[in-house]
A and B are shown apart, each in its own frame.
Chain A
Amino acid sequence: MEKLKNMNKTTRRNFLTYAFVIAAYIILQLWAGAGMKSSLRGMLVSICAYVVMAVSLNLTVGVLGELSLGHAGFMSVGAFTGVTAAVALQNAVASAPLRLAIAMVVGAIFAAIIGFLIGIPVLRLNGDYLAIVTLAFGEIIKTIFNNLYVGLDAKGFHISLLEDRTQLLEGGKLIIAGPMGIGGIQKIASFTGGAILVLLCLVVIFNLVNSRAGRAIMALRDNRIAAESVGISVTKYKMMAFVTSAAMAGAAGALFALNYSTIVANKFDFNTSILVLVFVVLGGLGNMFGSIVAAAALTILPEALRGSDKYRMLIYAVVLILVMLGTNSPRVRGFLEKLLPRRGGKKEGV
Chain B
Amino acid sequence: MSFLSFLISGISLGSIYAIIALGYTMVYGIAKMLNFAHGDVIMVGAYICFYAVGHFHLPPVVGVLAAMALCTVLGRVIERLAYKPLRSAPSLAVLITAIGVSYFLQNAALLLWTSNPKVFPNFFGREAVGPDGQAQLLTGVELFGGQLRISYVTLVTIVVCLVIMGALSLFISRSKLGKAMRACSEDKDAARLMGINVDTTISLTFAIGSGLAAVAGVLLCSAYPTLVPTTGSMPGIKAFTAAVFGGIGSIPGAFLGGLLLGVIEILSAAYISTQLSNAIVFAVLIVVLLVKPTGLLGKAIREKV
Contacts and interface: CB of A to CB of B under 8 A. Distances in A.
B156 interface: no
Contacts of A23: none
Contacts of A316: 103
Contacts of A155: none
Contacts of A109: none
Interface stretch (B47-55, B62-70, B175-183, B237-245): B237-245
Interface of B: 28, 34, 82, 85-86, 88-90, 92-93, 95-97, 99-101, 103-104, 107-108, 110-111, 237, 240-241, 244, 248, 273, 275-276, 278-279, 282-283, 285-286, 289-290, 293-295, 303, 305
A329 B85 contact: yes
The 10 closest A-B pairs by CB, nearest first: A136-B282, A317-B103, A320-B100, A317-B104, A329-B85, A328-B89, A143-B279, A321-B100, A328-B93, A313-B107
B93 A324 contact: yes
Given A121-B286, A124-B293, A281-B96, A330 B82 contact: no
Q: Among B88, B110, B279, B295, which residue has the most Cβ atoms of chain A within 10 A?
A: B279
A140 B107 contact: no
Nearest to B36: A274
A121 B294 CA distance: 14
A57 B103 CA distance: 21
Interface residues of A, number: 46
A321 B97 contact: yes
A81 to B, nearest CB: 19
B85 A325 contact: yes
A136 B285 contact: yes
Interface core residue of A125, A131, A324, A330 (most chain B CB under 10 Å): A324
Nearest to B78: A321
A332 B103 CA distance: 23
A285 B91 CA distance: 12
Interface string A129-148: 10111011101100110110
Nearest to B103: A317
B244 A129 contact: yes
Nearest to B275: A147
A317 B275 contact: no
B86 A325 contact: yes
A121 B303 CA distance: 21
A320 B289 contact: no
B113 to A, nearest CB: 13
Which of A146, A278, A325 has most B Cβ within 10 Å?
A: A325
A324 B285 CA distance: 31
A314 B111 CA distance: 9
A303 interface: no
Contacts of A325: 82, 85-86, 97
A322 B290 CA distance: 38
B278 A285 contact: no
24 contacts: A67-B92, A121-B286, A121-B290, A125-B290, A129-B293, A129-B295, A132-B289, A133-B289, A136-B286, A137-B282, A139-B282, A225-B305, A270-B237, A278-B96, A310-B111, A313-B103, A317-B107, A320-B99, A321-B82, A321-B97, A324-B86, A324-B100, A329-B86, A330-B88
A222 interface: no
Contact of B96 (A128, A282, A318): A282
